[in-house]
Structure 1
């Protein structure tokens, strides 16, 4: 890659639509592109992903699984320089697609009476932090997690980029990035509206650390990853000794240079973008939390799924979207990070999992290509 200065300059010249949030903040809650397609499409998924890889999209992994069928395939390469083929077991940062795990952990802790989701954040956080966040005395943990707190999104602060690319060998955690949200104006009073903000997840991470007396990644592993058998998943940065992940790539508006972004992310540890995972693990998680008979009880599920209407007549819970697709219900969350794009969907009535990874984030081509792929799969499976 080029120097840090040049990399930052390119980032600053890129529009917000490219996700200047390196944890998928602008489109981490982006809907899968769904339409009421009536035409039956017969699709060879391997052929589709083989034809989708390009100079901009180095590699793809796709899982489509239902009680009747299973497709798990990969195409392209996981590293442009070495030309190593992309494999179905490869892992990568899942960006905001990991937010549901943070939301679920908070719901589990609430069920154990270790915290109350509706307590205001001054229950746990220090005055030094609270005094620098507008409306902090009226802001609840639940509002942080369902994006109704009105808090400023730290990834929109230019200083965030400085820290992201500086000293890449140093592990940086929630408290390191929180500074970029302090003393910033609120978008609205807590509960008055909704606006996606990664800052809520930084604060939620710090709150859970306080409650647990340890970093919340330990509880995430003990309560979610291990019980579900998510052996390929680990907390990025904090648990980097648990595995490695593929290279990610990003091009800017001029398309002259392709940047490999892995080295800038492998030591970034944010609750807003928590885990490295595989498509199989991500699908297993979403299926497990949506299933009626699962490892969580009804109380946890009710808190997690939530009842807050979102922009598309569904609901947004604690880091998870639940939307109708005709007579079906989709549970989902996307993730977009520098160099990586994830979509993770479970359609409950069909028992259908659709999970896709791309090791690119160049806008608009990577987002549009992911949207197109997901739309085709849904049309093929549902209509």
Structure 2
């Protein structure tokens, strides 16, 4: 799944300096040249037009886009292209899409809230919660903690590893689209597979860890954790357009998503995602709700308590990936152009998400594209996000 924003930096230098000579003449006297240097003419400021950016980005690879850019002083919310190619229905600003791994922060938030209620501790071992049958098929399961699953240091095999992803997607396509598929369905593609590392050793992005978190939450609740997500997060935060994939279909509808395959061509993946609900990518949302979720976790002016927000990036939780990038609980933290940027993208077959918050300027950037997992869509959607992010980081 989409993990980290690849930021490309460009610097422009525009200097316009004008100077000219004025010849002064006086009657009966020799001409004398006097040079006068005028102050620099300021460059013409071109206003960055978000609507133009997304309008121009619509192509055969990118059917539709929804974009939110919000600062304390300004808000842009716009849409471009099509929500459905077959019906030619236009994309709308309120449309809902699967947010992919950008929804990991939702699962992480519920886990932290449970800790605040005393139902678990982030450093509890997972063997205290999961069935022995599952634990026996996960290497190092005796030593893995909940925190390590959330910050990808558990070393558990990713069910979307390049060696198993095709098997997973083929199984989804071969199944009844209306069959509800929850965490256990995806987990089967990660069982009895070798660990990437020993628990706590290093960062290895693994969607499987969040499936296991989902099963742990179910055990604690004696019901599916989507109920707690609605009652403890979606409703209190005012995320009224959001719902849990598959299991909460009655709360809304998603737009069509398009995946290009070399063999079968372009097809609509919406019928399959309507019945999928995994804890590693649980959220169906619009751009405003997703931006609201990230902001509440990382910004000071939040509905969440400081204790809850602190758990995401405390020293025990945060993992250094490289010189500029760290990972907390379901969220990347990165230094870009000397600014602190929180983000997590999402990539599904037919859907691409960018979810970003620039702390220094309190700027939210959230974008949805109803295409995903093909090279052209990735290249063109990245170009849009990079252009907007570069503008906001100036």
- TM exceeding 0.5: yes
Q: CA deviation at 1:293?
A: 3.0
Give the distance between the partners of 1:100 and 1:38, measured in 2 at CA. Answer: 36
- The separation in 2 between residues aligned to 1:178 and 1:303, in whole angstroms, is 27
More displaced, 77-86 or 357-366?
357-366
Partner residue, 2:23 = none
Q: Provide the TM-score with structure 2 as the length reference.
A: 0.87
Counterpart position of 2:303: 295
Aligned: 1:231 with 2:240: yes
Give how far 1:33 is off: 2.3
Shift of 1:320: 0.6
Q: 2:226 corresponds to which residue?
A: 217
Are residue 151 (structure 1) and residue 171 (structure 2) matched? no
Size of the aligned set, in residue pairs, is: 356
Q: CA shift at 1:362, angstroms?
A: 4.8
Q: By how many angstroms is 1:32 displaced?
A: 4.9
* Structure 2 counterpart of 1:135: 140
1:46-95 per-residue CA deviation (whole Å, 9 max, x = no partner) reads 11111110111110111111012111111100000000000000011011
In structure 1, how many angstroms separate the alpha carbons of the residues matched to 2:318 and 2:10?
25
2:117 is aligned, of 108, 112, 134, to 112
Distance 2:10 2:311 in 1: 30
Following TM superposition, by how much is the alpha carbon of 1:104 offset from its aligned partner in structure 2, in angstroms? Answer: 1.2
Instruction: Name the counterpart of 2:26.
Output: none
In the other structure, the counterpart of 2:178 is 169
Once residues 318 and 12 of structure 2 are traced to their aligned partners in structure 1, the CA distance between those partners, rounded to angstroms, is 30
Distance 1:42 1:341, change over 3 A: same
After TM superposition, list the pairs within 5 Å mapping 1:340-359 onto structure 2: 340-359=351-370
How far, CA to CA, are the matches of 2:110 and 2:11 in structure 1? 36
Equivalent of 1:188 in 181, 197, 201: 197
Q: Distance in 2 between matches of 1:121 and 1:74?
A: 43
* Structure 2 partner of 1:203: 212
Among candidates 275, 279, 283, match of residue 283 of structure 2: 275
In the alignment, the residues of structure 1 paired with residue 110 and residue 125 of structure 2 have an alpha-carbon distance, to the nearest angstrom, of 18
CA distance in 2, matches of 1:33, 1:131: 41
State the shift of 1:42 in Å: 3.5
Equivalent residue number for residue 374 of structure 2: 363
Partner of 2:107: 102
Q: What residue in structure 2 maps to residue 314 of structure 1?
A: 325
Partner of 1:263: 271
Matched, 1:248 2:257: yes
Give 1 or 2 for the bigger CA radius of gyration: 2
| Counterpart secondary structure, 2:342 | strand
- Give how far 1:175 is off: 1.5
TM-score by length of 1: 0.89
Q: 1:185 & 1:138 partners in 2: Cα distance?
A: 15
Structure 1 gap ranges (5+): 1-23
Q: Which residue of 2 aligns with 1:66?
A: 71
**In the TM superposition, what is the alpha-carbon distance from 1:38 to its structure 2 partner?**
5.4
Deviation at 1:212, TM superposition (A): 1.8
> Is the CA contact 2:354–2:368 (under 8 Å) kept in the aligned structure 1?
yes
Q: Distance in 2 between matches of 1:148 and 1:186?
A: 11
The equivalent of 1:122 in structure 2 is 127
